[in-house]
Amino acid sequence: MTQSIVRTSAAELYDAHVMKNYARAPLTLVRGSGTRVWDDTGKSYLDFTSGIAVSALGHCHPQWVAAVQRQAGELIHVSNLFRNPNQGELARRIVGQAGAGRVFFCNSGAEANESLIKLARLHGKKKAGGEEGKCYKIICAKHAFHGRTFGGMSATPQEKIQKGFAPLVPGFVFGELNNLRSFEELIDEQTAAIFVETIQGESGITPCTTEFLVGLRDLCNRHKLLLLLDEVQCGVGRSGTFYAFEQHGIQPDAIGMAKGLGGGMPIGAIWVRENAAELFQPGSHGTTFGGTPLACAAALAVLDVIEKEQLLEHVAKASVAWLQNLRGLVAEFPGKVLAIRGTGFMIGVQLASDPAPVIAALREAGLLVPAAGNNVFRLLPPLNATVEELAKSVEIIRGVLRALPAA
Ligand code: PLP
């Protein structure tokens, strides 16, 4: 085949050849450094999207780049038919953070959650004395988002995500987030697990309350259910602690993580507590790419930098003044900004109007942010965003809100 020598723009190539399943911004990004990205016209932006909470260290952190370059020149992939030192070391680090247990590696948030759902099925089978199909229900939360695979989508009670794909995986039932009684009422002898995001992300940044999580832990203990936490978006430091649940004094039975873990390299993982981890035996579950030397080298670099640069402390501390500034926007723009929600560097700005024109105006003004839910835009800066960059984001938002016509 002959190669075309005509240079085609990225926009034209996307139009002609890429599937149309995303509503993309009209922007082609070509370079990144720290909290900044550049488009193909040379314009730079403050990136508070972070690839949807992925670029934990910002773009091209030198220690991360060095680790990935070194590993790429040494060994990239061997499959899980063999051991590799990085996977063992990363599992040790995750266990050190989460508690006694074991880790399974995969490649994305949806895959991590799919693994949790399969774990719940195996737990249910054990609970039912080894009988399959007797105990399989998982209680999730309304407005949850757990991914686009069949399991994750079935656990995601949103019409826009499920529409067109029936029949879904059976066994998912839904309570009201932060309403313990609504979860308790759904428990029966067929229930195997409770599965929630510690902070709901995609639907507009809604944290679980301590009371709710403590109550869920108690319900799970009393009814022998697994408590599964989806920390795909809120985990790996984004909330100001390594896992968001650490702020609530509870311990889950299993955690799903991805996004920030690889700092841009695709990786997902589940941590499962001792005893429950034995539910996975050879053949129960697997993936070709999970835990490659390269992906694990990237994740180890993320963990090293978080530690070395004290990023958990930074997020916890810097977010206090930032949040206070952001909350000031509610009073400053009544009728335009309804609420500011979230913790750490995972903030939702709830508007009185459609956020799409605001997001476009922010982009024009040099700030990239993603939408969430119906009327929210999110602020997801890298964990090492500076106090000045956080303050700059508020200044840009203020400018855009000022110019926004009253709702
Ligand atoms: N769970 C949560 C809480 C998420 O926010 C996401 C993605 O946004 C997922 C699961 C799915 O992760 P992925 O897109 O990596 O499959």
pLDDT one-digit tens code per residue, 183-223: 999 999 999 999 999 999 999 999 999 999 999 999 999 99
How confident is residue 371, by pLDDT bands cut at 50, 70 and 90?
very high
Where does the pLDDT of residue 5 fall: very low under 50, low under 70, confident under 90, or very high at 90 and above? low
Nearest CA among 306, 318, 342, 309 for reference residue 392: 318
Task: State the amino acid at position 124 in one-letter form.
Answer: G
> What average pLDDT is seen over the chain?
97
Is the pLDDT score of 407 beyond 90?
no
Residue 260: which residues within 8 A CB-CB, separation 6 or more?
53, 54, 55, 56, 235, 236, 237, 238, 302, 383
Half-sphere exposure of 20 (CA within 13 A, CB side): 3
Tokens of 15: 């139009």
pLDDT in the model for residue 405? 87
d(CA 245, CA 222): 20
Q: What sign does the CA torsion over 92, 95, 97, 99 have?
A: negative
Tell me the C-alpha distance between 192 and 139, whole Å.
8
Q: pLDDT class for 3, splitting at 50, 70, 90? A: low
Q: What is the pLDDT of residues 236-268, one digit of tens each?
A: 999 999 999 999 999 999 999 999 999 999 999
Which one of the listed residues 105, 172, 230, 245 is annotated catalytic? 230
Q: Give the pLDDT mean for 94-115.
A: 98
Overall average pLDDT of the 92-102 stretch: 98
Which of 386, 390, 389 has the alpha carbon at shortest distance from 322? 390
Give the active site residue among 125, 259, 336, 377: 259
Tokens of 219: 């319900």
**Confidence at residue 4, expressed as pLDDT on a 0 to 100 scale:** 55
**Longest alpha-carbon distance in the chain:** 67
pLDDT higher than threshold 80 for residue 224? yes
148-175 pLDDT, tens digit per residue, is 999 999 999 999 999 999 999 999 999 9
Percentage of residues in the chain with pLDDT exceeding 70? Answer: 98
Instruction: Indicate if the pLDDT at residue 336 is higher than 80.
Output: yes
pLDDT at 7: 76
Q: Is the CB of 146 under 6 A from ligand 1?
A: yes
The residue nearest atom 10 of ligand 1, judged by CA position, is: 146
Q: d(Cα 343, Cα 386) in Å, to the nearest integer? A: 17
Separation of alpha carbons 388 and 399, rounded Å? 17
| 195 Cβ inside 6 Å of ligand 1 | no
- Expressed in angstroms and rounded, the spacing between residue 145 Cα and the centre of ligand 1 is 7
Question: Is the minimum distance from the CB of 109 to ligand 1 under 6 angstroms?
Answer: yes
Q: 10 Å Cβ neighbour count for 298? A: 26
Give the pLDDT confidence score for residue 49 in this predicted structure. 98
Q: Find out whether the beta carbon of 61 lies less than 6 Å from any atom of ligand 1.
A: no
Atom number, ligand 1, closest to the C-alpha of residue 266:
15
Tell me: pLDDT of 80 over 80. Answer: yes
User: Taking the chain, what is the end-to-end CA distance rounded to the nearest angstrom?
Assistant: 55
Q: What's the pLDDT at 294?
A: 98
pTM more than 0.85: yes
Q: From CA 208, how far away is CA 250, in angstroms rounded?
A: 12
- How far is it, in rounded angstroms, from Cα 407 to Cα 395? 21
Write down the pLDDT at residue 252. 98
Place of tokens 């061997």: 78
Average the pLDDT over 328-341 and give the result.
97
**pLDDT digits 0-9 by tens, 120-129:** 999 999 999 9
Whether 1 shows a pLDDT value over 60: the answer reads no
Question: Is the distance from the beta carbon of residue 300 to the nearest atom of ligand 1 less than 6 Å?
Answer: no
SS3 261: helix
Annotate 97-136 with DSSP letters as a single string: HH-SEEEEEESSHHHHHHHHHHHHHHHHHHHTTT-TTSS-
The answer to whether the beta carbons of residues 183 and 223 sit under 8 Å apart is no
| Residue closest to 226 by CA, chosen among 132, 119, 99, 103 | 119
Contact 397, 350 (CB under 8 A): no
Q: SS3 for 183-234, per residue?
A: HHCCCCCCEEEEEEECEECCCCCEECCHHHHHHHHHHHHHHCCEEEEECCCC
The dihedral over CA atoms of 208, 144, 262, 123, expressed in degrees to the nearest 10, equals 90
What average pLDDT does range 76-90 have in this prediction?
98
CA Rg value for the chain: 22
Q: What is the pLDDT of residue 175?
A: 98
Annotation marks residue 259 as catalytic: yes
The pLDDT assigned to 236 comes to 98
